[in-house]
Amino acid sequence: MAAWRDAPELPDFSLLKRLARDQLIFLLEQLPGKKDLFIDADLMSPLDRIANVTILKQHEVDKLYKVELKPIVSSSDQLCFLIRPRIQTVKWISDLVNADKVAGRFRRYKIIFTPQKFYACETVLEEQGVYGDVTTDEWNFYILPLDDDILSLELPEFFRDNFLEGDQRWVTTAGSALHLLQSVYGSFSKVYGIGRCAKMVYESWRELMEEGEQRTRQPEFAKVFLVDRDVDFVTPLCSQVVYEGLVDDLFRIKCGSVEFGPDVTSSDKSIKVMLNSQDKVFSEIRNEHFSNVFGFLSQKAKNLQTAYDKRRGMDIQQMKAFVSDELKGLKQEHRLLSLHIGASESMMKKKTKQDFQELLKTEHSLLEGFEIRECITYIEEHINRQVSMIDSLRLLCLLSITENGLLSKDYRSLKAQYLQSYGIKHLLTFANLRQLGLLEEQQAGETLTVMESKVGKLVNDKTVGKLTDAFSSLAKKSNFRALSKRLALVPKSGEEYDLRVPRDMAYVFSGAYIPLSCKLIEQVLERDGWTGLEEVTRMLNGQEFAVTEARNKTDAQRIVLVMFLGGCTFSEISALRFLGKERGCRFIVVTTAITNSARLLEALLDNHA
């Protein structure tokens, strides 16, 4: 293991923004003259991060509209649509064009698909008889840098499309994103991965590599780890307790920015704040367990007061210097500090309530496999009281994954009560969760595993291995309990855990659990592959790989790119930052989107047909 050294510098990702902006400008110039621009709702924030209205206006964009799938009011002769490649949106555009035709109105139409177009969308244009009336283009805006070490594809639908629907439309997108990083920042020497999608993404990327010309420049990062979200569902289902994760759970961070409401700003208006390493206050607390944040903020407030107090007794010259050198910074800090204190206060109000404490206790018991009956009673009451529909679902899923499915009688009774409390249409939700393996009823065969583990104590290990093999083919099981034991994910209870001086990644869950995804990454990097982890990968249903691309030992070896396919949580990012500090390396997270328990589960609801 590498001795602790100064962490290496991270590459400059702002270049990616510039590339995306330049391509967009180029595409807008393909439609000369004044035009109105319609933007998909979920593209507005990403677009805001790389361009602004002035740039669009400079390229003759007249008015901007949000795509709402409703009739439009535009008097422009040229309409440009900047959209994700979705059939529904293309159908809407076709309807507009056809309505114009009926009204005898001539306009030019251009669709810019991002990050790429799909044949299914073009077929819609063809079928609706507007192919040719509408021109199409691609804006390859694959990656949005959210921070120094977070790159996002901003594709939340990746999760549902890939894992629930089994649609591989985004596989090549992820491959192209890696290819883009490689062509801008240099090639990688080692690639590790686990998961079915990870394997496909790697293959797709490799194909692109073989076609493209080989870059000889020094690589800026050399190791890549690809991981499927369904390798670890436990982590994103846990309540987040590090500051950034908690802010995301409570206020929903959108594209690196959060909107704090009146209860935080203590005024009558909401304020949008960017949350990233540029915010000096935030960058110091983002990875901290929330119980430490308040002490830190109050110390900071005292320091600030002292800095302001320096003014007293200054003469005019000193005052002038103070105003020009320090005041601006102090005020900025002052503003940020008030906001984060407001946010913490509002968090404390919600999170120190008895309810939240009990919720955490239940989560920890589930992770530990302790007092499961009590947990079930708690979940049942949670459902009966009709409190948070998503939290109830989250607890049910955690119970199911950690216990390898629910006993038949529990499953039926909890499902029935859930439907009574939150609506019978959630039948559809349960079907989705079952398909994904998130919430299952134990099959008759599976009860054997209980016996098998008992038998294991009597018979030698080899026999058990064979037994397990036989059964693992029956169903895809989470095997969480066994994995947790093998990888020591849950520290022994009863031990004191000082959250101010974390000793391992478990601190991101109050010392109760090390995120499985991050533990795997740690283990594979340490072993430089999967050797010695055979039992673990078998329990994770295999699909692991490790490939050596080239041999070049540079400082870049200490920068590791981790790609989460299907989303990554802020808790995992914090855990990786901690691991990086421990090991003297830096992690860069590439994710299809930032996720958390609510987003993950909401993606699986079927609220509308």
Partner 1 sequence: VLKESKRAVNSILVDDDDEDEEDVERVSWSGEPVGSISWSVKETASSIRSGSEQSFPKIDTTPSLSKQGSGYSLSSLFKGNLHDLSPEETVRRMQKGRAFSLEKFRSLQDKLLLLDEAVAVYDGNVITAVLIFLKKSLSKEILFRELMARDVALRHYVHYLKEMGEQKLLVELLKALGRTEDMALMHYKEHLNIKDESRRRDFLKSCLSLPFSQDDATHVQDHYTLLERQIIIEASDKKAVAEIFKKFPRKASILNMPIITTLYYSCFYHYGESEGTFSSPSNIRKTFRISEKQYILTALGARAKLKSWFDVDSLFNTKNWLGYTKKRSPIGFHRVVDILHKNSAPVQVLQEYVNLIDNPDLKLGGALKYKCHDIVINTYRDLKDRQQLIVYREKLERDSPEYRKIQELLNNVQIRWKN
Report in angstroms the alpha-carbon separations of 470 from 336, 452, 465, 498: 58, 11, 9, 43
Site map for partner 1, 382-401, x if CB under 8 A?
--xxx---------------
> d(Cα 593, Cα 596) in Å, to the nearest integer?
10
Instruction: Tell me: does residue 204 bind partner 1 (CB under 8 A).
Output: yes
Q: Give the one residue of 170, 192, 545, 564 binding partner 1; rule: CB under 8 A.
A: 170
> Judged by CB, which is closer to partner 1: 105, or 454?
105
Nearer to partner 1, 2 or 431 (CB): 431
Question: Does position 129 bind partner 1 by CB under 8 A?
Answer: no
Q: Are strands 190-194 and 544-548 parallel, antiparallel or unpaired?
A: antiparallel
In 397-414, which positions are buried (b, 16+ CB within 10 angstroms) versus exposed (e)? Answer: bbbbbbbbbbeeebbeeb
Judged by CB under 8 A, which of 12, 381, 528, 534 binds partner 1? 381
Q: Is 497 in the site for partner 1 (CB under 8 A)?
A: no
Cβ count within 10 A of residue 499: 17
Nearest-10 crossing angle of helices 516-527, 570-583: 30
Residue 448 in contact with partner 1, rule: CB under 8 A: no
Of 6-14, 44-52, 284-292, 361-369, the window that binds partner 1 (rule: CB under 8 A) is: 44-52
Task: Assess 325 for contact with partner 1 (CB under 8 A).
Answer: no
Nearer to partner 1, 188 or 202 (CB): 202
Which one of 338-346, 391-399, 513-521, 571-579 is the stretch in contact with partner 1 (CB under 8 A)? Answer: 338-346
- Taking each continuous run of H as one helix and of E as one strand, the counts in the chain are 27, 14
- In 3-state terms, what secondary structure has residue 465? helix
CA–CA gap between residue 140 and residue 24 (Å, rounded): 9
**Distance of alpha carbon 86 from alpha carbon 118, whole angstroms:** 8
Residue closer to partner 1 by CB (options 109, 587) is: 109
Does residue 342 bind partner 1 (CB under 8 A)? yes
Q: Tell me the residue length of the chain.
A: 609
- Binding residue count for partner 1, defined by CB under 8 A: 101
Of residues 341 and 600, the one with the C-beta less far from partner 1: 341
Structure tokens at 471: 């059964």
Contact 559, 219 (CB under 8 A): no
Q: Which of 147, 148, 149, 161 binds partner 1 (CB under 8 A)?
A: 161
Minimum distance, C-beta of residue 53 to partner 1, in the bound complex (Å):
5
| Sites for partner 1 among residues 345-374 (CB under 8 A) | 345, 348
> CB 7 → partner 1: shortest distance, Å?
29
Question: Cβ atoms within 10 A of the Cβ of 167, count?
Answer: 13
Cα Rg, the chain, nearest whole Å: 26
- Assess 262 for contact with partner 1 (CB under 8 A): no
The first and second tokens of residue 417, run together, are 């009560």
Task: Pick the binder of partner 1 from 69, 387, 407, 427 (CB under 8 A).
Answer: 427
What does the angle CA 158 – CA 144 – CA 598 come to, to the nearest 5 degrees? 45
Among residue numbers 53 through 112, which ones bind partner 1 (CB under 8 A)? 53-54, 56, 63-66, 73, 75, 77, 86-88, 105-108
Beta pairing, strands 559-565 & 144-147:
unpaired
Q: Which of residues 511-550 bind partner 1 (CB under 8 A)?
A: none
**123 lies in the site for partner 1, by CB under 8 A:** yes
Please state the closest distance from residue 386 (CB atom) to partner 1, in A. Answer: 6
Does residue number 412 form part of the binding site for partner 1 (CB under 8 A)? yes
Residues 220-259 interacting with partner 1 (rule: CB under 8 A): 259
Question: Using the rule CB under 8 A, which residue among 17, 59, 169, 581 binds partner 1?
Answer: 169
For strands 190-194 and 223-228, give the pairing.
parallel
Tell which positions 275-314 bind partner 1, by CB under 8 A.
294-295, 297-298, 300-302, 304-305, 308
Closest CA to 525 of 587, 434, 443: 587
Nearer to partner 1, 295 or 445 (CB): 295
Q: How far is the CB of 374 from partner 1 (least distance, A)?
A: 12
Identity of the amino acid at 235: T
CB closer to partner 1 out of 1 and 73: 73
Q: How far is the CB of 119 from partner 1 (least distance, A)?
A: 4
Q: Does 453 contact partner 1 by CB under 8 A?
A: no
| Residues in 131-160 at the binding interface with partner 1, rule: CB under 8 A | 131-133, 135-136, 138
Instruction: Enter the tokens of residue 308.
Output: 């302001």
Of 126, 47, 122, give the one whose Cα is nearest residue 86.
122
* Residue placing its CB nearer to partner 1 in the complex, 2 or 87: 87
Measure the CA–CA gap between 228 and 197, rounded to whole angstroms: 6
Which of 23, 98, 128, 168 is close enough to bind partner 1 by CB under 8 A? Answer: 168
Tokens 């795997």, located at residue: 520
Region from 45-53, 452-460, 503-511, 534-542 binding partner 1, contact rule CB under 8 A: 45-53
Angle at 138 between CA 132 and CA 142, to 5 degrees: 160
